[in-house]
Structures are given as structure tokens and as C-alpha cells.
């Protein structure tokens, strides 16, 4: 959050929170098997993980995201982004799932462009975002 605040103030831009959470593996919560937002999800192929676990995690995480949003933002509605450039700022990307779910969610609100600002990401994750960039802006 501190980096986002500095960027927003430096660029004189409004700040909002995009709600998303990774879905952790049932035996290792740090290992992401997908991600969920309030209206989108990205799930990696893991046939060994029960669908019931994923469904329960989605409900739990969406409830948690709503509670945290209310703590930070009260009852304020998200900013209108239709036709505007949006910058998603994060401290780093691992699998890319949470960024992808953020982009899917924001795309539904018809921004002009989505820019992802991140200082570090694994080399093997970069092609995922390059492919999206080409398909979105070519």
C-alpha cells in the first residue's frame, strides 16, 4: 500500500483498491493455485484438488475481501474507470494469477487501457502478460 500511495500522490491521481486474493493450495497456502476477485477468477489446472475446496475458498476469500474493503474504504463505491487509463500497482508478481484476475475484473468496466506497474516478476511469467498486451492493444 505505501508504494501505491506515493505513486498516486506523485502523479496526482485518485487511488482505489482492487480486491483480489490468491487461492492457496490446501496443503501449502503460499502455493497459489488460482486467484479470485469479487466477480472474476483464474484457476490453474490441478486435478488433484477437489472442486469443493476451491468453491469454499472462493466464498471465504470474497467475504474477506469485502470486509477489508469496508475497513479501508467504508461504503464508498469504486471509482468510475470507463474510458480512463488504469494503473495496477503491486510489489511483485509470482504466478500472475492475481494480476490476471484484476485485469479481467477491470476490463469489464471498460477502461481505455490497463497498465501493470510492478518491480519484479519471474522471467517465465512475462510471456503471459506480453500475450495479453498484444491481444488487447494490437
Using the CB atoms, write b or e for 5-33: b if 16+ within 10 Å: eeeeeeeeeeebebbbbbbebbeeeeebb
Which CATH number fits the domain that encloses residue 96? 3.30.1310.20
Total domains, the chain: 1
Query: pLDDT truncated to tens, each residue of the chain (138 aa)?
Result: 678 888 889 999 998 888 899 999 999 998 889 999 888 888 888 888 999 999 999 999 999 999 998 998 888 888 999 999 999 888 778 778 888 888 888 999 999 999 888 888 878 887 777 777 644 443
- Residue numbers of the domain that contains 93: 2-137
Taking the C-alpha atoms of residue 97 and residue 21, their distance in angstroms, rounded to an integer, is 9
Name the residue with cell 501505491.
Answer: 4
Amino acid at each position: 500500500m505505501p508504494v501505491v500511495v506515493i505513486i498516486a500522490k506523485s502523479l496526482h491521481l485518485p487511488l482505489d483498491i482492487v480486491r483480489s486474493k490468491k487461492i492457496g493450495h490446501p496443503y501449502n497456502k503460499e502455493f497459489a493455485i488460482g486467484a479470485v476477485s469479487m466477480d472474476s477468477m483464474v484457476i490453474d489446472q490441478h486435478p488433484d484438488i477437489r472442486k469443493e475446496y476451491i468453491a469454499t475458498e472462493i466464498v471465504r476469500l470474497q467475504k474477506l475481501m469485502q470486509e477489508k474493503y469496508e475497513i479501508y474504504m467504508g461504503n464508498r463505491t469504486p471509482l468510475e474507470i470507463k474510458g480512463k487509463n488504469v494503473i495496477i500497482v503491486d510489489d511483485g508478481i509470482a504466478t500472475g494469477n492475481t494480476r490476471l484476475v484484476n485485469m479481467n475484473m477491470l476490463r469489464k468496466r471498460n477502461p481505455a487501457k490497463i497498465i501493470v506497474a510492478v518491480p519484479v516478476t519471474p522471467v517465465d511469467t512475462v510471456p503471459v502478460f506480453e500475450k495479453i498486451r498484444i491481444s488487447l492493444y494490437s
